[in-house]
Structure 1
Amino acid sequence: MPIVNRVADLQPDIQAWRRDLHAHPEVLYEVHRTAAFVAERLREFGCDEVATGLGKTGVVGVIKGRKPAGGDVKVIGLRADMDALPIEEQTGLPYASKTPGQMHACGHDGHTAMLLGAARYLAETRNFAGQAVVVFQPAEEGGAGAAAMIKDGLMERFAIDQIYGMHNGPGMPIGSFAIRTGPIMAATDSIDINIEGIGGHAARPHKSLDSVLVGAELITALQQIVSRNVDPLDAAVISMCEFHAGNARNVIPQTAVLRGTVRTLTAEVRELVEKRVRAVVAGVAQMTGAKIDLTYERGYPVTNNHAVQTQFATRVAKEIAGDTNVHEMPPLMGAEDFAYMLEKRPGAFIFCGNGDSAGLHHPAYNFSDEAIVFGTSYWIKLVENTLPA
């Protein structure tokens, strides 16, 4: 594994970048320090072009190979996300977040650092034809930064033919990868429900229209959609996670608010679930007499890996990790806005082992520096195999 060995020499620098980013987390589109850090490194590496401000704060670097590309694929895109989460860190690390209420609890610091490491290597060696485009994206955590960069012309401006993404995987052994063809992560939609009944004294419920009871009816009915309307062989999740009503034990509240999330893996099931949610809300409103306002918003689409590119990514991962350390995984019901990029160009999304760490979005999570060599090597090999010199 010559690339792995050579990347090991870069590991101390990549680790230092990662820990600096970890100590200075930024959320959503407000990744100004992070973007400036990335752009400065890319210029130091000698990238042929460094563009900033795509999707508000995204950064793109272009690295040209030794020869013009001669095949169907002339430009390959590699994407890393830069944003952190609004979570108070509880790791106790010497490089823990210095920003109260924000932390890199999903490993985007590691993703950014690994892609920077790959960019440095590729800019030094240029052992490929065509162009490698490294894409550093803001606002993956709920802000749809991928869609914003696409809207700003990412694919067309840099003539990207294929696009690849990677995420760390807690619980997966260091040095392993997991991937699958087709849906690998779910679409995510949001449900917001406002209920208005008639408030009153708790001892006189017959003179009121109880918004709490209406909310309970809704939750019970909504949770039955998956079990009684969705084919058992398909996957879907409806989770109602917020219920706000009342502030006194002897007052029936006038209003109640429910909020929840929907996760699906196919367009057909997504349509079905939305249709049933709307019907259930309308039915409960008619049954109870309460006024119920529903806001159903589509979020990230399904992250759908393309077959040819997934097979290729699997072969590359096996070159880095060995055949027995690359696994076909079941789909996850979490969401990922790299889905927008896969709607525009063929490509694949892969998971790289993070070892026995706390889970993603947990205040004790930390990206494992031991994963750096494997993730960085995967990026490099992906370029060199896609665009052979």
Structure 2
Amino acid sequence: MVLDEHQLIDIRRKLHQIPELALDEFQTHSYLKKVIATFPQNYLELKEFKELPTALLVHIQGSNPKRTIGYRADMDALPVTEENKLSYASKNKGVMHACGHDIHMTVALGILSYYASNQPKDNIVVFFQPAEESDSGGKKAYDLGLFQGKYAVDEFYGLHDNADLATGVIGTNAETLFAGTTEVNVIIQGKSGHAAFPHNANDAVIIAANFITQVQTIISRNIDPIKCGVITFGKIEAGTIRNVIAGTARLEGTIRGLTQDMIEFIRKRIVEIAKGLEISFNAKITVEYNQGGYYPVENDSKLSERFIKYMEQDDQVRFQITKPAMTGEDFGYLLNKIPGTMFWLGVSSPGSLHSVDFLPHEEAIMAGVRAFTRFLNYRMNLEED
């Protein structure tokens, strides 16, 4: 059975009603298995993992395989309370598919249903991935060894819906699609004291102010102006009362860059600045980083140029080259290990991604299924790697 547009929309709406947070996608997992069980099973093999219990891998046996092509769809939702007045609005209080992962999963099911009924030439592995929004589900899956044996993938593809692109438009580039992100925490240890006797204290607020000012020069003076990097400290905690000099301060921020090399350079400079301020202020400054799997989504140039060339030549596809976005996506970790391409699918939502009124146009689902299955059929008939 190849799912038609009406069935796909119905599936998407059912998924939309049962959003679940990272690593808690058990109801979603169960529903996906139920849908997949309705497909012809001649070429399918489904695999689950006790170490990552909400993940699903589906292997489709090719008729004359030269390679195994992976396709990833993320499953988790966000801690957002939906404000859309829909008959199929979220039933899970305070949780919503505000990033459109219900669209992602539905497109994957459409692709899967097509190849369950039309055996592909190459092997295909569809990966329903938990924990994209947090907890680095892609990294967890890779590090646990999920992509081994018959589930080893030679090239990986995945999409992300885009609220600002017209419904059904496919967009990507052959370089970086999403930035990488790293959490950074800075703990400053000075010495508290009376506000009237500053010479007897070591003001952590003053040190924090100097740190933030100097860190901003990394972007303005250490990075090539035509390249991109972002440092934002969005949270500062220091002090208890107006007439006591703060002895400690904590800063929390984020680093973003279009390449992993850029992120590593920014991290190195932050540490160097911290060490300099330790000497200048006779203080202790600790810098903590947490990147997890949120590497830059660096598209493989060869695979992506082929993907773009096909999409531009297919008169049934509306395609456009898109600029990099500074948002994060843990598919970047998988692309750091396995060559591949991530692309946008336009959904024309009046509300932005991650908003309470995100509302994608469902016509995009079938457009995404058709565009990608046509591309895969083209790709699988190429003799070249």
Q: CA deviation at 1:159?
A: 3.2
Structure 2: gaps spanning 5 or more residues: none
2-structure distance, mates of 1:92, 1:362: 14
Write the mapping of 1:309-388 to structure 2, written as runs, cut at 5 A: 309-318=303-312, 322=316, 325-388=318-381
Moved more, 153-162 or 229-238: 153-162
CA-CA distance at 1:172 after TM superposition: 0.6
What residue number does 1:3 align with? none
Contact 2:139 / 2:333 at 8 angstroms: preserved in 1? yes
Q: Secondary structure at the match of 1:365?
A: coil
Alignment partner for residue 234 of structure 1, among 227, 230, 233? Answer: 227
- Stretch deviating more after TM superposition (246-255 or 340-349): 246-255
* Number of aligned residues: 377
Q: Kindly indicate whether the alpha-carbon contact (under 8 Å) linking 1:175 and 1:321 is maintained by their aligned counterparts in 2.
A: no
Query: Which residue of 110, 116, 126 corresponds with 1:134?
Result: 126
- Shift of residue 271 of structure 1? 2.8
Report whether the alignment pairs 1:57 with 2:54. Answer: yes
Match for residue 167 of structure 2? 174
Taking the aligned partners of 2:27 and 2:132, their CA distance within structure 1 comes to 17
Checking the alignment, whether the CA contact within 8 Å between 2:349 and 2:358 is kept in structure 1 is no
- Higher mean C-alpha displacement, 379-388 vs 314-323: 314-323
- The match for 1:213 among 203, 206, 218 is 206
Rounded Cα–Cα distance in structure 1 between residues aligned with 2:147 and 2:371: 22
2:7 equivalent to 1:10: no
| Number of the residue aligned with 1:39 | 33
Displacement of 1:326 in angstroms is 1.2
What is the CA deviation profile of residues 90-125 of structure 1, one whole-angstrom value per residue up to 9, with x for unaligned ones? 333332222233221111111011111221122123
8 Å contact kept, 1:81–1:108: yes
Please say if residues 55 and 151 of structure 1, whose CA atoms lie closer than 8 Å, have aligned partners that are also in contact: no
Residues 69-108 of structure 1: CA deviation (Å, up to 9, x unaligned): 3xxx432111100011122323333322222332211111
CA distance in 1, matches of 2:277, 2:78: 36
Q: Percentage identity across aligned positions? A: 33
* Superposition map of 1:237-316 within 5 A: 237-299=230-292, 300-316=294-310
Out of 203-212 and 77-86, give the one that drifted further: 203-212
**Relative to structure 1, is the Cα distance of residues 46 and 203 closer, same or farther in structure 2, using a 3 angstrom cutoff?**
farther
For residues 240 and 316 of structure 2, the distance between their equivalents in structure 1, rounded to whole angstroms, comes to 59
159, 165, 184: which is aligned to 1:191?
184
CA displacement 1:347-367 (0-9 Å, x = unmatched): 211101111432212222133
Post-superposition offset of 1:145 = 1.0
8 A contact 1:196–1:256 mirrored in 2: yes
**2:64 alignment partner in structure 1:** 68
**What letter corresponds to residue 46 of structure 2 in structure 1?**
V
Q: Which secondary structure state, in structure 1, belongs to the residue aligned with residue 92 of structure 2?
A: coil
Could you list the per-position Cα deviations for residues 158-193 of structure 1 after superposition, in whole angstroms to 9, with x for gaps in the alignment? Answer: 132221111011111112111111222222122111
CA distance in 1, matches of 2:248, 2:273: 19
* Per-residue deviation, 1:319: 5.9
For 2:152 and 2:188, locate their aligned partners in 1 and report how far apart those are by CA, in whole Å. Answer: 49
The 2-side partners of 1:176 and 1:151 are apart by 34
Residues of 1 paired with 2:283 and 2:104: CA distance?
48
The match for 2:147 is: 155
1:118 aligned residue (101, 111, 122): 111
Q: Report the CA distance between 1:314 and its aligned residue.
A: 1.9
Task: Please give the per-residue CA displacement for 1:246-294, whole angstroms capped at 9, x wherever unaligned.
Answer: 3433433332210111111234323321111001111122222232211
Please give the TM-score of this superposition, normalised by the length of structure 2. Answer: 0.90
Contact 2:349/2:361 (8 A) holds in 1: no
Distance 2:55 2:301 in 1: 28
The worse-fitting range, judged by mean Cα deviation, of 340-349 and 233-242 is: 340-349
Aligned counterparts of 1:100 and 1:201: Cα–Cα separation in 2 = 48
Cα contact 2:195–2:243 (8 A) shared by 1: yes
Task: Tell me, in whole angstroms, the C-alpha distance in 2 between the residues paired with 1:187 and 1:357.
Answer: 26
Letter paired with 2:61? K
- Could you tell me which runs of 5 or more consecutive residues in structure 1 were left unpaired when the two chains were aligned: 1-5
Rate the CA distance shift 1:248–1:19 in 2: closer, same or farther, 3 A: farther
SS of equivalent to 2:98 = coil
Structure 1 contact 174–353 (Cα < 8 Å) conserved: yes
Note if contact 2:349-2:360 (Cα within 8 Å) is conserved in structure 1: no
In the alignment, the residues of structure 2 paired with residue 147 and residue 328 of structure 1 have an alpha-carbon distance, to the nearest angstrom, of 28
The one-letter code of the counterpart of 2:91 is K
Offset at 1:322? 4.7
Distance 2:254 2:316 in 1: 38
Alignment partners' CA distance in 2, 1:87 and 1:45? 33
Q: Is the 8 A contact 1:55 1:146 kept in 2?
A: no
Query: Is the 1:169–1:354 Cα contact (8 Å) retained in structure 2?
Result: yes
Q: Distance in 2 between the 1:239 and 1:116 partners?
A: 38
Shift of 1:321: 6.4
SS in 2 for 1:109: helix
